[in-house]
Amino acid sequence: MHCMASGAANSTMAAAAVTRRTNAGLLHVEGAATNGDGGGEGGESGRWTPAAKRPVVDDGGKGDVWVAVDEADVSGGAAAAGCEDGGRPPLFRTYKVKGSILHPYRFLILVRLIAIVAFFAWRIRHKNRDGAWLWTFSMAGDVWFGFSWVLNQLPKLNPIKRVPDLAALADQHGYSSGEDNKLPGIDVFVTTVDPVDEPILYTVNTILSILAADYPVDKYACYLSDDGGTLVHYEAMVEVAKFAALWVPFCRKHSVEPRAPENYFALKTQTYKGGAPGELMRDRRRVRREYEEFKVRIDSLSTTIRQRSDAYNSVKNVKDADENATWMADGAHWPGTWFEPADNHRKGHHDGIVQVLLNHPSYEARLGSPASVDNPLDFSSVDVRLPMLVYISREKRPWYNHQKKAGAMNVMLRVSARLSNAPFVINFDCDHYINNSQAFRAPMCFMLDGRGGGDGTAFVQFPQRFDDVDPTDRYANHNRVFFDGTMLSLNGVQGPSYLGTGTMFRRTALYGVEPPQYGAAASQIKAMDKANKFGSTTSSFVSSMLDSANQERSITPLGTVDESVAGDLAALTTCAYEYGSSWGRDVGWVYNIATEDVATGFRMHRQGWRSVYCSMEPAAFRGTAPINLTERLYQILRWSGGSLEMFFSHSNALLASRRLYPLQRLAYLNMSIYPIVTIFILAYNLFPVMWLISEQYYIQQPFGTYIIYLIGVIAMIHVIGMFEVWWSGITLLDWCRNEQFYMIGATGVYPTAVLYMLLKLVTGKGIYFRLTSKQTASSSSDKFADLYTVRWVPLLIPTIVVIAVNVGAVGLAMGKAATATGGLLSQQAWFAVLGMVFNVWILVLLYPFALGVIGQWGKRPTVLFVALAMVVAGVAVMYVAFLSPYDQAEWSAGVAAALGQAGPLTKQPSGS
């Protein structure tokens, strides 16, 4: 029991080891101050309400936490008070945490550092004579906890917030489309795999939100990569292109927000902008009707295609080998996968496809037509052009390792280079739609900022925000501690890590080029090409790379897709293209790792690039998150497994050159080894079992002093945590959820990840990670049905065992306290109660997990408490009946009896 006490305590020390996405989160504070909708929590925050007149960008300056940094300091004193380039105002403002919060925060970190050193020194001076192995193990554990705390804490010393200034961008780079618009081009990438696992409605919404974004329509192009190669996706895009002709002008005419139709029509409150609200209501009603019809067409695509194919197949020569072909609307065989898999037309085995669905628009604005009988919407003053839209499905062959998302991204990078070749690239997952139409402009403020260094920025990362998370965010899906705490801290070092979605890149950085201070991009590209790093390059591809180094560049208008273009595209999407090249290592997204995102961002930081964290209000993007316990655990299994893989790869932070900032290196090291701590956490959590075997184990003596030290270092970690809650602006609930989910991960997922990693090291076989399944939106009446669904997998077992052990331990502690010689005030009773406090603490942390595994019962958790009380009482009674007083023979008999009925028990150590 005593041992248990320290176990819990120490794991709490580690619990603050805030690591990649093991954390939770809430609503954005900064924004709350500026646009009247700060209210709601979780899912609803950052949505549009009538109060938000114009997309408001997070104004970090307001509030009582962040203070503006003198811009002259930021630019190394070179610029006169924030102006350079002939008085051009800067495109973003920088804020730091004000001194009255920052200084005590840093001071506490220092004090705790001293405290843990003193603690270790004391432990070494008071080495246990009996149970030395336990002492050694726990010492190793504590040293590891301390070390990971340092890795986690030091990069947080200097949180920085940077706020884009969209007005300044508009002044300098032309706002209105048409005349003198100097905004650069952007290629937008979206990835999807399967129209069922990733409901196609999400993808459709995402694409529509991109097409309707507030960015010069001739300056960006949208690419969808479909790794499933299904005709359903392709035809959905055909439908999208048609519906966009209505949706996009409608969005422009009334400046609606957000521009993803599903989310727009789901809004309860409406924004009244522009002219007559009456006209908006009329138009809206019409568009909504069209949208409902559009959705019906999308939903029935799979049936439509099947029926069409059946019809064709029955007419055509049935003896033909292609008797089960899937047919396109124009009467041709679909080159991708077929409903009835056939050679060269099944999953993982089909040709590459590139289809331009909407070509690059003209440079001249084109106004729509006035209202008429067939078209009741008046678009006569609205530009009705649509941006370019391209469907891609790369070639797939069974003998080739496709590298999942990373492979898909690299193909998109090449295809887009040939078709539009924008100097900037922004990517998101199919379930992340644009929630703020300014989302493409904001990152430009960082990329184009004139103060030396804008061009040293490789990527701009937006936080991930999620819809449809249960209101109490049971499994810490919002991850605010990570997004608003850890990422803002890194923003003050070299920049946030790349998080896979909602990220704008400088194209040359993706090609593996080093930042400008280490040589001109053009000469680097030439040298890399000579070294054959880009693969079997066509010369046009290399020249496109040279072009894309110009950050002022727009996009290449694509004429017709003639034979030479088609030939290039075919070559760029093949598996063979990358053979013998550096794709997946020095070029493009990084391969052979479950978390390609962190590794890819790491390569850039390692080369000396910087990155910027950009949060907007309302949130730039919103996505979906897994609210089912099993799905969520699988997701963090992939993240934690990927982290470990990173450590055992060429992306190990210790191997990076000196261009990686020291604190950034610590942060990456932390990000890649955090799951290891689980070995100690799990051991501590399971220690009570040991008291069955022997009674003499002590972690540390004298026990009283030990407890005081522990309480001290644990309390400090929480006080420091409160400072972080303060400056990051998250809520206490976010913070608590984060602590809880950390413990849940540490008891089941991280040990599994460590095992996987060991297996990989031994067998050389990579880790298989599955796609995170998306909630099936709108299908069920209960929005949060997934929360109450239990999917049993072995991954759940370790945590269940930990819960059982700790519940048993609480019962025992009660039994002990009740039977203590000398009554309730004796030291024996006191220790028992102390131990119990920590067991209870573990149980509180694991509570969301317990709710998860009881499924539907979780809606009325009283059941859980009744069951808990009964088990605890049962164990306590059994202790009193069999184990006390301490007669050894009786004790053994008691253990035998208890083991038969109630699981693990502990025995009061003698002589305490």
Ligand X SMILES: O=c1ccn([C@@H]2O[C@H](COP(=O)(O)OP(=O)(O)O[C@H]3O[C@H](CO)[C@@H](O)[C@H](O)[C@H]3O)[C@@H](O)[C@H]2O)c(=O)[nH]1
Catalytic residue numbers read: 227, 597
Task: Give the DSSP H or E segment for 261.
Answer: helix 261-266
Q: Which of 145, 65, 138 is nearest to 112 (CA)?
A: 145
Q: Residue 315: how many CA atoms within 13 Å on its side-chain side?
A: 8
Annotated binding residue 739: no
Nearer Cβ to ligand X (206/731)? 206
The minimum distance between CB 774 and Mn ion, in angstroms, equals 7
Beta strand pairing status for 92-97 and 186-192? unpaired
Q: What 8-state DSSP symbol labels residue 88?
A: B
Binding part of the chain for ligand X, among 188-196, 240-248, 515-523, 897-905 by CB under 6 A, reads: 188-196
Q: Taking CB under 6 A as the rule, does residue 395 contact ligand X?
A: no
Q: Taking CB under 6 A as the rule, does residue 806 contact ligand X?
A: no
Q: What share of the chain is helix, strand, coil (3-state, %, to 5)?
A: 50, 10, 40
User: Which of ligand X, Mn ion, none is residue 595 near (CB under 5 to 8 Å by kind)?
Assistant: ligand X
Identify the burial level of 330 via C-beta atoms within 10 angstroms of its C-beta, where 0-12 means exposed, 13-18 middle and 19 or more buried. Answer: exposed
Binding part of the chain for ligand X, among 64-72, 187-195, 451-459, 845-853 by CB under 6 A, reads: 187-195
Annotated binding residue 98: no
- What binding mask, one character per residue, do residues 500-539 give for ligand X by CB under 6 A, x or -? xx--------------------------------------
Q: Taking CB under 6 A as the rule, does residue 630 contact ligand X?
A: no
Residue 725: Cβ within 10 Å count: 20
Which of 93, 405, 451, 474 touches ligand X (CB under 6 A)? 405
Nearer Cβ to ligand X (225/884)? 225
The minimum distance between CB 589 and ligand X, in angstroms, equals 9
Angstrom CA distances, 108 to 18, 114, 151, 159, 387, stand at 17, 10, 16, 16, 53
The minimum distance between CB 723 and Mn ion, in angstroms, equals 31
735-794 binders of Mn ion (CB under 5 A): 772
User: Which of ligand X, Mn ion, none is residue 105 near (CB under 5 to 8 Å by kind)?
Assistant: none
Q: Taking CB under 6 A as the rule, does residue 638 contact ligand X?
A: yes
Nearer Cβ to ligand X (593/843)? 593
- What binding mask, one character per residue, do residues 848-867 give for ligand X by CB under 6 A, x or -? --------------------
How many angstroms separate the first and last alpha carbons of the chain? 12
Task: Kindly state the tokens that stand for 560.
Answer: 């017709």
Number of residues that bind ligand X (CB under 6 A): 21
- d(CA 834, CA 812) in angstroms, rounded, equals 12
Nearer Cβ to Mn ion (161/638)? 638
Question: How open is the CA angle 785-626-593, to the nearest 5 degrees?
Answer: 155
Nearer Cβ to ligand X (613/831)? 613
Identify the burial level of 378 via C-beta atoms within 10 angstroms of its C-beta, where 0-12 means exposed, 13-18 middle and 19 or more buried. Answer: middle
- The rounded radius of gyration (Å) of the Cα atoms in the chain is 30
Nearer Cβ to ligand X (291/674)? 674
Task: Give me the amino acid identity at 172.
Answer: Q
- What binding mask, one character per residue, do residues 391-430 give for Mn ion by CB under 5 A, x or -? --------------------------------------x-
The minimum distance between CB 848 and ligand X, in angstroms, equals 19
Q: Taking CB under 6 A as the rule, does residue 193 contact ligand X?
A: yes
User: Which of Mn ion, ligand X, none is residue 494 near (CB under 5 to 8 Å by kind)?
Assistant: none
- d(CA 758, CA 756) in angstroms, rounded, equals 5
User: Which of ligand X, Mn ion, none is residue 262 near (CB under 5 to 8 Å by kind)?
Assistant: none
- What binding mask, one character per residue, do residues 430-469 give for ligand X by CB under 6 A, x or -? x---------------------------------------
Task: Give the DSSP H or E segment for 346.
Answer: strand 345-346
Which of 408, 419, 493, 604 touches ligand X (CB under 6 A)? 408
The minimum distance between CB 410 and Mn ion, in angstroms, equals 19
Annotated binding residue 227: yes
What is the residue-wise DSSP string for 768-816? P-PPPPPP-TTTSSSTTGGGG-----GGGHHHHHHHHHHHHHHHHHHHH
Nearer Cβ to ligand X (224/801)? 224
Which of 153, 410, 635, 806 touches ligand X (CB under 6 A)? 635
271-330 binders of ligand X (CB under 6 A): none
Residue nearest Mn ion, Cβ-based: 429
Q: Which of 906, 903, 46, 19 is nearest to 466 (CA)?
A: 46
Which of 115, 238, 565, 771 touches ligand X (CB under 6 A)? 771
- d(CA 663, CA 184) in angstroms, rounded, equals 33
The minimum distance between CB 848 and Mn ion, in angstroms, equals 21
Binding part of the chain for ligand X, among 34-42, 404-412, 741-749, 796-804 by CB under 6 A, reads: 404-412
Residue 83 bridge partners (DSSP) = 80
H helices present in 300-354, as ranges: 301-315
Annotated binding residue 299: no
User: Which of Mn ion, ligand X, none is residue 597 near (CB under 5 to 8 Å by kind)?
Assistant: ligand X
Q: What 8-state DSSP symbol labels residue 217?
A: G
- d(CA 775, CA 94) in angstroms, rounded, equals 38
Residue nearest ligand X, Cβ-based: 500
Identify the burial level of 67 via C-beta atoms within 10 angstroms of its C-beta, where 0-12 means exposed, 13-18 middle and 19 or more buried. Answer: middle
Number of residues that bind Mn ion (CB under 5 A): 2
Nearer Cβ to Mn ion (355/772)? 772
Binding part of the chain for ligand X, among 191-199, 236-244, 659-667, 800-808 by CB under 6 A, reads: 191-199
What is the residue-wise DSSP string for 411-437? HHHHHHHHHT--SEEEEEETT-EESST
What is the residue-wise DSSP string for 147-166? HHHHHHHGGGSS-EEEEE-H
Q: Are 849 and 803 in contact (CB under 8 A)?
A: yes
Q: Taking CB under 6 A as the rule, does residue 772 contact ligand X?
A: yes
Which of 192, 497, 731, 828 touches ligand X (CB under 6 A)? 192
User: Which of ligand X, Mn ion, none is residue 771 near (CB under 5 to 8 Å by kind)?
Assistant: ligand X
Task: Kindly state the tokens that stand for 229.
Answer: 């190669």
User: Which of Mn ion, ligand X, none is residue 193 near (CB under 5 to 8 Å by kind)?
Assistant: ligand X
Backbone angles phi, psi at 5, to 5 degrees: -55, -55
Annotated binding residue 774: no
User: Which of Mn ion, ligand X, none is residue 405 near (CB under 5 to 8 Å by kind)?
Assistant: ligand X
Q: Are 656 and 601 in contact (CB under 8 A)?
A: no
Question: How open is the CA angle 446-63-56, to the nearest 5 degrees?
Answer: 50
Residue 130: Cβ within 10 Å count: 11
Which of 595, 731, 738, 884 touches ligand X (CB under 6 A)? 595
Q: Which of 616, 618, 439, 469 is nearest to 37 (CA)?
A: 618
Q: Taking CB under 6 A as the rule, does residue 832 contact ligand X?
A: no
Which of 142, 198, 214, 218 touches ligand X (CB under 6 A)? 198
- d(CA 187, CA 859) in angstroms, rounded, equals 45
Q: Are 646 and 672 in contact (CB under 8 A)?
A: yes
The minimum distance between CB 55 and ligand X, in angstroms, equals 24
Max CA separation in the chain (angstroms):
97
Binding part of the chain for ligand X, among 483-491, 510-518, 567-575, 638-646 by CB under 6 A, reads: 638-646
Nearer Cβ to ligand X (225/747)? 225
What is the residue-wise DSSP string for 523-535? HHHHHHHHTTTT-
Residues in the site for ligand X, rule: CB under 6 A?
Answer: 191-193, 198, 225, 227, 404-405, 408, 429-430, 500-501, 595, 597, 635, 638-639, 642, 771-772
Annotated binding-site ranges for UDP-alpha-D-glucose: 198, 227, 404
Residues in the site for Mn ion, rule: CB under 5 A?
Answer: 429, 772
Annotated binding-site ranges for Mn(2+): 405, 429
